[in-house]
Amino acid sequence: MSLWEGNRIKDINEADFGRKEIEIAEVEMPGLMACREEFGPSQILKGARITGSLHMTIQTAVLIETLHKLGADLRWCSCNIFSTQDHAAAAIAKAGSAKVFAWKGENLQEYWELTFEALNFPNNQGPTILVDDGGDATMMILEGAKWEKIYEERKELPDPARYETEDEKNLYAVLKRTIPEDPTRWRRCIKDLAGVSEETTTGVHRLYQIAKKGELPFPAINVNDSVTKSKFDNVYGCRHSLPDGIFRATDVMIAGKKVVICGFGDVGKGCAEAMVGCGARVYVTEIDPICALQACMKGLQVVRLESVLKEADIFITTTGNKNIIMAEHMAQMKNNAIVGNIGHFDNEIDYHGLCNWPEIKKVEIKPQVERFQFPDGHGVIMLAQGRLLNLGCATGHPSFVMSNSFTNQTLAQIELWTNRNTGKYKNEVYKLPKELDEKVARLHLKSLGAELTVLSKEQADYIHVPVEGPYKNEDYKY
Amino acid sequence: MSLWEGNRIKDINEADFGRKEIEIAEVEMPGLMACREEFGPSQILKGARITGSLHMTIQTAVLIETLHKLGADLRWCSCNIFSTQDHAAAAIAKAGSAKVFAWKGENLQEYWELTFEALNFPNNQGPTILVDDGGDATMMILEGAKWEKIYEERKELPDPARYETEDEKNLYAVLKRTIPEDPTRWRRCIKDLAGVSEETTTGVHRLYQIAKKGELPFPAINVNDSVTKSKFDNVYGCRHSLPDGIFRATDVMIAGKKVVICGFGDVGKGCAEAMVGCGARVYVTEIDPICALQACMKGLQVVRLESVLKEADIFITTTGNKNIIMAEHMAQMKNNAIVGNIGHFDNEIDYHGLCNWPEIKKVEIKPQVERFQFPDGHGVIMLAQGRLLNLGCATGHPSFVMSNSFTNQTLAQIELWTNRNTGKYKNEVYKLPKELDEKVARLHLKSLGAELTVLSKEQADYIHVPVEGPYKNEDYKY
Amino acid sequence: MSLWEGNRIKDINEADFGRKEIEIAEVEMPGLMACREEFGPSQILKGARITGSLHMTIQTAVLIETLHKLGADLRWCSCNIFSTQDHAAAAIAKAGSAKVFAWKGENLQEYWELTFEALNFPNNQGPTILVDDGGDATMMILEGAKWEKIYEERKELPDPARYETEDEKNLYAVLKRTIPEDPTRWRRCIKDLAGVSEETTTGVHRLYQIAKKGELPFPAINVNDSVTKSKFDNVYGCRHSLPDGIFRATDVMIAGKKVVICGFGDVGKGCAEAMVGCGARVYVTEIDPICALQACMKGLQVVRLESVLKEADIFITTTGNKNIIMAEHMAQMKNNAIVGNIGHFDNEIDYHGLCNWPEIKKVEIKPQVERFQFPDGHGVIMLAQGRLLNLGCATGHPSFVMSNSFTNQTLAQIELWTNRNTGKYKNEVYKLPKELDEKVARLHLKSLGAELTVLSKEQADYIHVPVEGPYKNEDYKY
Amino acid sequence: MSLWEGNRIKDINEADFGRKEIEIAEVEMPGLMACREEFGPSQILKGARITGSLHMTIQTAVLIETLHKLGADLRWCSCNIFSTQDHAAAAIAKAGSAKVFAWKGENLQEYWELTFEALNFPNNQGPTILVDDGGDATMMILEGAKWEKIYEERKELPDPARYETEDEKNLYAVLKRTIPEDPTRWRRCIKDLAGVSEETTTGVHRLYQIAKKGELPFPAINVNDSVTKSKFDNVYGCRHSLPDGIFRATDVMIAGKKVVICGFGDVGKGCAEAMVGCGARVYVTEIDPICALQACMKGLQVVRLESVLKEADIFITTTGNKNIIMAEHMAQMKNNAIVGNIGHFDNEIDYHGLCNWPEIKKVEIKPQVERFQFPDGHGVIMLAQGRLLNLGCATGHPSFVMSNSFTNQTLAQIELWTNRNTGKYKNEVYKLPKELDEKVARLHLKSLGAELTVLSKEQADYIHVPVEGPYKNEDYKY
């Protein structure tokens, strides 16, 4: 990593490779391109200072350059120590679209330092809007402001040693060091902030909890629950990336195999559909009888994991819960059964238990693909150590999926910025209005050659909706 | 039609045929059978007087006998002048499971008289709970009570001639005649009523409007929006009955044909999936960009109707809106294009405009299948005169679909009855609690051989749900 | 039945209804319509006398009128005592397109008398070409000629009583009566015959056996094994008509059900695809490991019947073999399991054994749908008494399927007629040349809106085929 | 490359990595494992010297070790200069299962030298059976023998300079040098040869031409046309590897895209099914009307390439013909359309024309993925330079596919070896008997959990087949 003209990135020489991939990705991100066309000429974000804390990838680069072309001034860090694509970071830095503070393989100390840098604009200014993913940037601001007050009141500073996790220790170390340097930084920042748009479930969950306590000092937009975000991230994204990950990791033929999909929520629905499309026989496990019945109606067999442990070939967790496939389960599987997770978190699969199974032998077949051999000689093939296999073994969501997600982000940023003085948004958490959700969809139809029908006034009146939408109520199931 | 031991039905001789079909249907209605097992021994509806106003079909017969086996005393009429299956009515009458007041092909005068009879239990009593479909029984009670008060106050009675529609004229004629006979009938009835469970969109819509004005005098449960009701009625029911209707009406091979599905809501989704399953090339028209994008992700072509008018073979409306396929459209279709509606109502297709096209020739190929020949010689095949083709040309929803719907009804009836004195339900419109929705699903899984997984306490806590459910929040999209 | 202007049909009054259906069917039979266009103006069959012995249905009516428009003089009978559609017969008779000798529900005596009449053109002439289905017309001619010689040699006539089956008794009774009347009829007929085109497996099998013994006195074209005939009759036809038959017979929802398809040949492949398309979980039984492996690659579970007897909901035989589902099997099925056959013949299912099961109770639910209740109380639903369920419970193959089959017939008739003096065809059994098979396909593409690519000369040379085809060798698998 | 204990391979250090992958692959190659079990104990190939000329990959390693475990002595070279996987070669060499003469990236001189070495066993002996892929080993033997005779007769040796291709120049250079060293080598070799089993279309084509001229001096088995080989290599293999190749090369989301599959033979059928499974809208181009009609029946749109040039997103050639997608076509495509070939050979796409388009700009995005930008600014993404994209951009066929192919090879080798003195095989080209084809299928069913039904004697007689098969005639279409 190096300091390059005010950025902190790994290698500016990768910028050209990054630029090539950005240009390819742009064609697959029509929503963002459409935003540039619609809002670029008016420079709608002129004057906005945006801090983004979101995986610094090629797709994010297209988001950054979209916000930049709309007039914003940007500083960017990643929200995960491993997720930066260095060629993407380099390309953005070189183009000057944003100042970038990210590289692949940061340590936790670096991570929080870089977040801090992304939040500090020149002239002792903070951002005026936030793009957050997981809520770390938001947390630094809120905790910063809290400790500023404590520091002001009783000169006390946070003590990193008192915090449990490495993560927290490092966050508070940064605050401890910097609050005395500028003891009103975070409170000035909050005063300037038009709001935050948050990308993920986890971050949104945090925001709702803060708001519930009445401690949210600026408006927040929950991008995560836009239909065009959640369906793409979950159903369509995973339908694409599950087979991709299995292919790259194992080269195994899926046709004819028995595949168990644990969970039939949105992710499970996408995964099951993909596996059926590959010619697999698909089994589903579910706890929710409604989702289970949906699986039946799709012609899928709903079973308990135990019922197919010994005969299935591939096991995929998608539940968002924990302890789904345990080491005891894997001990009973057939030889070279493949096990992977595409759900929320790595605790769906008991990787730890597997590693600690008595006399287990682990062989790395290739990066992110390990074979664990049990004492009886049979083995299981574990993908990505139980972490998200589509990220670990493939390249995550394709650009078109991210275009949906990031167009929601862009519209949320515009919404926050243009309403900074209108009073439309209180200090609460809002979902993006359905008309903007529909707009995101609309912006992606043209590149697919889809023609949308237009309601007549008479028809719109008949079903009690505006001609231009929104067309559905909030709890419509799609 | 005849009076038979207190019932008014068409032909008691059809009872045996009806009984055979009821027995077959029972096997396909596991939810209702499970209710009999669970709630029969305790006679949970003992003491309840139920009036049902809901299509008197074989499937409804299984509902009626379920409520009867739970202890209720029942009187039943149909909610549509054409929808009674006379052999079903006869079987119920003969078994004495309910008193039945219905036959196929009533006129509107008979219709309201029969509704009136179904609402009048012996000893001048009304029902204690209502099963309603479309809201006609509810309306008779509410209008009755309203006019009772007017009659009491100023001896005025409704004047049928002042109402616009035939329907209204006949309703008010009954009220006019009967109010003087028993001028407190409807108000006593309301006092006794634990509530109504309503089956359809239309009926639910009416109830919300009444409740909004504060005029609802008893609780109402909206069965229509239970997930297990709406998905089955819309997605799965139509996936079954669209090809069934086309097969029976036309014997046409769907494989290789171009089929246009107008609308990609739940009904459209089921229809499109069915047509793809038959080997058709499927086009979708949509006004909602989110639904349109979902169609794209399914590999379907989203077009405007005008773009494929001349080349498509089959056109199906599913929109719930009006004026979707106009006579002008049909004038441009290829010869013997098939046109049908499986959406809300018969105004999706301009049947009237077609009939009145200058020099059009109409030939009835067989009942519910007409060919309209335009002056230029080309013709279109119209199914069921633009009314619901799955009812007109096939037999509507299969028993398994109705089992989901009617198990919701049964649980709603139990909920209303057992809470008649608990104060749980105010005079408002409620959706069935999600745990009951999940219960309906649960009751249908066993007969499909599905095994449900059970959450551990630890897992349930991790995702913040009770072990036994409900598992999702209200706006979950399924 | 009645004699009407030289025809023997049931009711001439049904002619108008038949005509309407014929007109509808014509649009779905583009291959035949194209033949009319191409060969009608030259009257290519002028002078030909055609006898057809083939189910007298609406689709056959379109074939008959095609041959008629090509210049032929026709007489027609049915090849099955139940298969005539009386309104089709009437329409043809009324239009004078052919003389018709057929009605629904002939007895076997009538059957052979009618066949005889169809073979006798005015002026003591026989046909000059035959369209045969099953080989009965061919057999009458060959047996007639054989017995003429015996009669000539030793005045002996066949003795019906000596034959085993009712069928044979009636055939020989006709010959016994008529040979003395005209003792050279059949030999003159054979001399005039340019050949026969045979529709089915059974008939083709007979022809190969006769030819093998050197006893075939005229050329025969095996239409049955044209790819465009066999794929449509088997894969695509059954994919359409299996669900159609199940829908009409039982109204049962197929989604979520477990369906066992016995046999994964062409018929089984079509059936399995249809059931998957309906949302069923499909099991396949197979004896041939290659077909079984194909089923696996489609994601289907290959099992022995015994393994799923107790859990499956629907059982369909497609094997072309016998004793597939025995009464012992049915005794173990779950209550109201549905059993039907769409394979070759009614001995795939042990209907006889079922009827004779001790203390079995049979209830006819409706025509072609029976419930057999075993002494333990569980029952099975038997479709069409184990005969072809798509014919018994639905309307058989749709017009588009028959168009492929009958365009092969038409081209075969033209081929035989135009080569009657060229020596191209010896007294052997020929498959239709592949270029004609390809032509049949070509004639059906236009109505589906398909655009065919044309090889350049250079490309054709590169793969060693003529520009205009045929493109594949005989054992190409398609 | 290096000489290592008599092998010529690249790097023996890769042996352990190769061994790990071989062990994984074995589990996916049940047919070969079953052969080891069945034929290993009897050492059925004891005494056989096998030369293999076939891509030296991990899957081939499993074949080699199978033949080795059956008792054979083996020498192996690759049949393509790029296709060797060096870790596979190293693992085989290290294990001593065969002597290996192959590395990735040979030049043509090396290629023919290595083939020569693989054909020369110790003690001046040649092989007793050949495994060939493309016919190069066979050609070296036949040309060697031919020139030996010429050399014997008139002392003349081949003159490499007189041959046109680099390939031929190098082959004849080897012969020129070695014939004088041992002027009866190839004729002794031929005398010892029990035959050759040939893997591919090209090699089989050559063999038929040689046999036609009566110049084949030993029997040959055409493994290529076994159903279990051709269906797996074409339909199922490509269904797997087309999406795999597109995913790895471009990360593009296939759902919603318009994909054109040029050709609907076996490869095209597999490709189209895969793309439909991914959620694409699929267009097919075809020249053969029967295949085109099959596409229609699958619900696919059959078009000319020109009709969709401007709107489609992905173009894949599968025709086996040449000049399918020309530079002129690509000049009209939309920006970043993806173009690739999975058909026979790289002349399906006019890569040369594209490279030479005036003012075209080529950018390599990453290996095997190039973007060609036309002067107007739009570009196309070319996969694998128009060569097989599943090999270039992914890893070719998965092990399960190759297991089918190589089990055919193993059975063919056993058949040739055990019949070397029985006279069963003349010097002609034979397809593998259908019972062996069925056996290959049978050996793959168990690992998929499939249960095969067994015919009773009575049933077998009824359909005129042996109980144990084969069950179908030669031209059965599967």
User: Chain-centre distance of CA C18, in angstroms?
Assistant: 21
Q: How confident is the model at residue D474 (pLDDT cuts 50, 70, 90)?
A: confident
Q: How far apart are CA C271 and CA A199, in angstroms?
A: 46
To which residue do tokens 């979980």 refer?
Answer: C281
To which residue do tokens 């004026």 refer?
Answer: B323
Q: How confident is the model at residue D344 (pLDDT cuts 50, 70, 90)?
A: confident
Query: Which residues 391-420 in chain C show a CB within 8 A of chain D?
Result: none
Kindly report the CA angle at A268 between A55 and A319, in degrees rounded to 5?
Answer: 75
- The DSSP element (H or E) to which D372 belongs, if any, is strand D369-373
- Write the single-letter amino acid at A163: Y
Annotated binding site of C: 57, 133, 199-202, 229, 233, 265-270, 286, 342-344, 390, 397
pLDDT of residue A82: 87
Q: How far apart are CA A436 and CA A423, in angstroms?
A: 19
Q: Select the residue of C256, C278, C449 nearest B448 (Cβ to Cβ).
A: C256
8 A C-beta contact, residue D221 and residue D415: yes
Average pLDDT over residues D337-352: 94
Query: Which residues 369-388 in chain C show a CB within 8 A of chain B?
Result: 371, 381
CB contact under 8 A, A27 and D371: no
pLDDT tens per residue, range B270-298: 999 999 999 999 999 999 999 999 999 99
Q: How far apart are CA C269 and CA C318, in angstroms?
A: 9
pLDDT of residue C287: 98
What is the sign of the dihedral through the CA atoms of B413, B417, B420 and B421?
negative
pLDDT of residue D425: 96
- Going by the DSSP 8-state scheme, the letter that residue B348 receives in this structure is G
Average pLDDT over residues B182-188: 97
Q: Does C243 touch chain B (CB under 8 A)?
A: yes
Q: Does D363 touch chain A (CB under 8 A)?
A: yes
Q: Select the residue of B27, B243, B365 nearest C21 (Cβ to Cβ).
A: B365
- The DSSP element (H or E) to which A197 belongs, if any, is strand A195-198
CATH fold, domain D253-343+346-386, is: Rossmann fold (3.40.50)
Buried b (16+ CB within 10 A) or exposed e, B148-182: beebeeeeeebebeeeeeeebbbbbbbbeebbeee
Positions of C annotated as catalytic residues are: 55, 78, 83, 133, 199, 224, 229, 233-234, 238, 344, 397, 405, 409
Burial of C315 (0-12, 13-18, 19+ CB in 10 A): buried
pLDDT tens per residue, range B76-107: 999 999 899 999 999 999 999 999 999 999 99
Q: Does D279 touch chain B (CB under 8 A)?
A: yes
Q: How far apart are CA A138 and CA D123, in angstroms?
A: 79
Q: Select the residue of A280, A282, A299 nearest C280 (Cβ to Cβ).
A: A299
pLDDT of residue B179: 98
Alpha carbon separation from A247 to C80, D152, D305 (Å, rounded):
55, 56, 30
Q: Which residues of D touch C469 (CB under 8 A)?
A: 288-289
Task: Give the mean pLDDT of chain B.
Answer: 96
Using DSSP's 3-state secondary structure scheme, residue B180 falls into: coil
pLDDT tens per residue, range C78-134: 999 989 999 999 999 999 999 999 999 999 999 999 999 999 999 999 999 999 999
- According to the annotation, is B213 in a ligand binding site? no
CB contact under 8 A, A251 and D399: yes
D159 is catalytic: no
Q: What is the 3-state secondary structure (H, E, C) of C287-337?
A: CCHHHHHHHHHCCCEECCHHHHCCCCCEEEECCCCCCCECHHHHHHCCCCE
Position B1 pLDDT exceeds 70: no
Catalytic residue, chosen from D257, D258, D329, D344, is: D344
Instruction: For D275, name the nearest residue in chain B, comparing CA atoms only.
Output: B299
Q: Does C253 touch chain B (CB under 8 A)?
A: yes
Q: How far apart are CA C439 and CA D290, in angstroms?
A: 9
Average pLDDT over residues B415-437: 96
B233 is catalytic: yes
To which residue do tokens 């669900």 refer?
Answer: C243
Position D202 pLDDT exceeds 90: no
Residue D240: partners with Cβ closer than 8 Å, 6 or more residues away? A247, A253, A254, A255, A278, D274, D397, D398, D401
Question: What is the ipTM, given to two decimal places?
Answer: 0.94
Low-confidence ranges of chain A (pLDDT < 50): none
To which residue do tokens 């773009």 refer?
Answer: B307
Q: Which residues of C touch D442 (CB under 8 A)?
A: 289
Position D1 pLDDT exceeds 70: no
Q: Does C180 touch chain B (CB under 8 A)?
A: no
CATH of B2-228+398-437, picked from 3.90.1200.10, 3.30.950.10, 1.10.150.20, 3.40.50.1480, is: 3.40.50.1480
Pairing of strands B129-132, B99-101: unpaired
Q: How far apart are CA B136 and CA B170, in angstroms?
A: 12
pLDDT of residue A1: 58
Q: Does A27 touch chain B (CB under 8 A)?
A: no
Catalytic residue, chosen from B68, B69, B94, B344, is: B344
pLDDT of residue C288: 98
Low-confidence ranges of chain C (pLDDT < 70): 1
Q: Select the residue of A27, A243, A257 nearest D335 (Cβ to Cβ).
A: A27
pLDDT tens per residue, range D79-89: 999 899 999 99
Burial of C23 (0-12, 13-18, 19+ CB in 10 A): middle
Q: Where are the domains of chain C?
A: 2-228+398-437, 253-343+346-386
Q: How confident is the model at residue D135 (pLDDT cuts 50, 70, 90)?
A: very high
B78 is catalytic: yes
Q: Which residues of A touch B454 (CB under 8 A)?
A: 287
Q: What percent of chain D has pLDDT over 70?
A: 100
- According to the annotation, is D266 in a ligand binding site? yes
Q: Which residues of B touch A455 (CB under 8 A)?
A: 287, 321
- According to the annotation, is D325 in a ligand binding site? no
B83 is catalytic: yes
pLDDT of residue B30: 97
Same fold, C2-228+398-437 and C253-343+346-386: yes
